[in-house]
Structure 1
Amino acid sequence: MSAEQPDLTAGDDEDYPDPSPEELGVGALFAEAPEPFHDLLAPAPEELDDLLPLMPQRTAAPQTWVVSIADAKYHWYDLVAGFPEIPDIRDPVGRHLRRMQFDLEATSEKRLIYFVVNRPRVRFDAARSTSWGFFSLKLTIPLLVGTEEKRDSLTIELQVPFAATLKKPTVVLTDRFITLNWGGLIEALSIHDVLQQYENSLTFQSKVQYVGQTKDPLGRLARARLTPVQRIHQNNSEDNDMLLLIQRMNVEVMSDDGDPAELEVNQNPVATDMLLKDRIDVIECALIRYFEGPEMHGRSDKEADIRKQRLREVQATNNLVEFRIDLRLEDAGKYDDLFSRHVPVSRSHIIDCRIVDGEVLVTPVASV
């Protein structure tokens, strides 16, 4: 690790226990909420009586799955983690925050995978001025990098939006946001939006701290009310920024009987969701094993047992032999470099997986 890169292992010291929800100041919010992994438990038979005609029809041939990313998006979790007031949508930054909240709230209705990631702290330096290149829309923006707030800068080349009435925007800088007023249009970008969208010299990576699934009728992820996620935030917020990388997965089923999800009899919402749930539950367990290691640090023995039970069930009902997860993103850049305590840095994580006695065995595959 170079001298310019702050240590992302802050908060990993196991000698210090995780703070309780009460210590985080949010204990009452979790009092009645079930753990997210309880959704892995099979419902009682009587709960399914009315749904029996809609249950998916399975196929008998062995299945192999090939999992890839259909789309992915980062959300800056720190902006919602402090239980902020509802943003003022008349303000460009407020509209940006509200759109992010809407996006996160919508994920609670979908079966998506999310990664809780930490990145070294980076801020705009509002005490210094931006500058323009001669006869161009190249804008140089001052930065403060790391907890030591080392001075740096970033030069980006802007494109004039269709709705603009000015050839060059008016720029307003705060520590977290840059606002570009084009006359007929005002753009607000966070520091992490800029780092993702424009080439820069920073070589930081995203450390995966936790893997989860967004489906949650209580919508706790968007409201910063998931205990394990809040604990990670509490332990790392002083030195790092925290983001959610949310991914929609595409699953290709290889089988002599075809994909059961494509059968006409399974084209109803109940069957469609149950087949998708099988697949996303298994993918989630495999990614937990890959990034968090076999011990699943921070997760309870009860959760581990429930996940084993669920893996056995899905393996049996789908006759699942093996599956591959390919986490490569199209047009990936330096911002998409991922690592964890158990996995080296890469933007091309490919994993071969098998289920043996309720455990996912993962084997990294070298990308071509």
Structure 2
Amino acid sequence: MNRGLFSFITSNDFYKKLDKKWVITLDKYHKFWFDLIVNYKQLGDDINTKDLIVNKLRNIEEEVRSHLDKRFIYFICSRKKVRFNLKKKPWTNPLTKYTYIHLLIGRDRIKKRIKVKFIDANSSKSPKIKLNEKFIFIFYENGNTETVPIHEFLDLAKINLGICSNVEYVGYTNEPSRRPTNKSHAGLADILYKISNEDNDFLIYFNTFCVRAMQIESALGINIVAENGLINEINADKEGKIIEKCFISYFDSNLQDNNKKSEEGSLKNNLFMLKSEFNISKIDVYYNQINETDYTLFSSNSVRAMNEHYFSVSLIDDNVVIKRNIKPLISNE
């Protein structure tokens, strides 16, 4: 679907005079473990995990370009390191069919046991599994082998370890296959330098969002809602940068303090522009994933760990004001 398909709406006098706000909700997200980009040959010379990730991201880019041409807002997160404990072999209970697997968490290698039920869809039997520290290998009776990185495995199995993804850096890109995955990135370098990789792993979440202009009040009892991608009232680049600045201000990471004044100034200018040119007086943001796991639990040094993040952004007395835990009228559910 082409961006701006219904752009004629923006020239309508009735629409232009409406008092509006933006409501931003999550469209899709994709996460990747940075270790698979750096140590891309750990599965052998024949498998390059970086190439697999980059190719997947290129396919995602093409899909997004063909559907309203959105921009990606990425979170670089630190997360307590988790590894498989190779000193204790997995064991399957023949009665319950649960397989017990042992983990080591963090620098202190705290021991944790989890249970997972593996089922071979073709035979209804429990498949054989093998482990190394970072991967689980699942062997099926038809000869196929599934190789799953530990973080993806824990997420898919919905294992609750009480660990959250701490947002260290928020950024913007239209080419996630290149930035920050090419490793030439100042924010990423700061994170890797300042945060212990003995205690933490690093994940990158790429997000796309749905931005709707919504009438604030209606005397007629009719609410007017228009998706910005369809009317292109604000172009894709500007839209993406506004979303980025909102999340930078919300998570307020210490690692982005050096640019705090610049980022807040940019957000302030954009809020003024939205109000003066488009009659959009505030922004409500609702960030959550439908399937909640430990890997959808986000925090920062300024925000406690939560699966759902609601906040509003507005310009009051020439100051950017962030109000947290404000739920908008609509969500992505």
Q: Which residue does 1:219 correspond to in 2?
A: 178
Tell which deviates more after alignment, 295-304 or 339-348.
Answer: 295-304
- For each residue in 1:166-214, what CA deviation from the matched residue of structure 2 results, as whole angstroms up to 9, or x when unmatched? 8332212111100101143221111111221224352112211111123
Does 2:185 match 1:232?
no
Cα distance, 1:262 vs structure 2: 7.4
Q: Which residue does 2:88 correspond to in 1?
A: 128
**Equivalent residue runs for 1:357-368 within 5 Å:** 360-365=320-325
Cα distance, 1:353 vs structure 2: 1.6
- For each residue in 1:286-323, what CA deviation from the matched residue of structure 2 results, as whole angstroms up to 9, or x when unmatched? 11101016994132755554454444434444321112
Cα distance, 1:354 vs structure 2: 0.9
Does 2:71 match 1:111?
yes
Percent of paired sites with the same residue = 20
Cα distance, 1:335 vs structure 2: 3.2
SS of 2:259 mapped into structure 1: coil
Cα distance, 1:74 vs structure 2: 2.1
Cα distance, 1:122 vs structure 2: 0.8
Q: Which residue does 2:125 correspond to in 1?
A: 167
So what's the TM-score if we normalise by structure 2? 0.77
Q: Does structure 1 conserve the Cα–Cα contact (< 8 Å) formed by 2:169 and 2:256?
A: no
Count of aligned pairs between the two proteins: 302
Q: Does structure 1 conserve the Cα–Cα contact (< 8 Å) formed by 2:83 and 2:103?
A: yes
Cα distance, 1:226 vs structure 2: 1.4
SS of 1:148 mapped into structure 2: coil
- For each residue in 1:257-300, what CA deviation from the matched residue of structure 2 results, as whole angstroms up to 9, or x when unmatched? 7537477xx5xxxx58x533333322211111010169941327
Mark the runs of 5 or more structure 2 residues left unpaired by the alignment.
1-6, 216-222, 329-333
Q: Which residue does 1:329 correspond to in 2?
A: 289
CA distance in structure 2 between the aligned counterparts of 1:73 and 1:172, rounded to whole angstroms? 26
Cα distance, 1:155 vs structure 2: 0.8
CA distance in structure 2 between the aligned counterparts of 1:295 and 1:357, rounded to whole angstroms? 28
Mark the runs of 5 or more structure 1 residues left unpaired by the alignment.
1-53
Q: Does structure 1 conserve the Cα–Cα contact (< 8 Å) formed by 2:190 and 2:255?
A: no
Shift in CA distance, 202/249, structure 1 to aligned 2, threshold 3 Å: same
Which of 145, 168, 176 is the aligned partner of 1:209? 168
Q: Which residue does 1:179 correspond to in 2?
A: 137
SS of 1:299 mapped into structure 2: helix
Q: Does structure 1 conserve the Cα–Cα contact (< 8 Å) formed by 2:75 and 2:206?
A: yes
Q: Does structure 2 conserve the Cα–Cα contact (< 8 Å) formed by 1:315 and 1:321?
A: yes
Does 2:108 match 1:148?
yes
Which of 195, 206, 227 is the aligned partner of 2:154? 195
* Greater fraction of residues in strand: 2
Tell which deviates more after alignment, 165-174 or 109-118.
Answer: 165-174
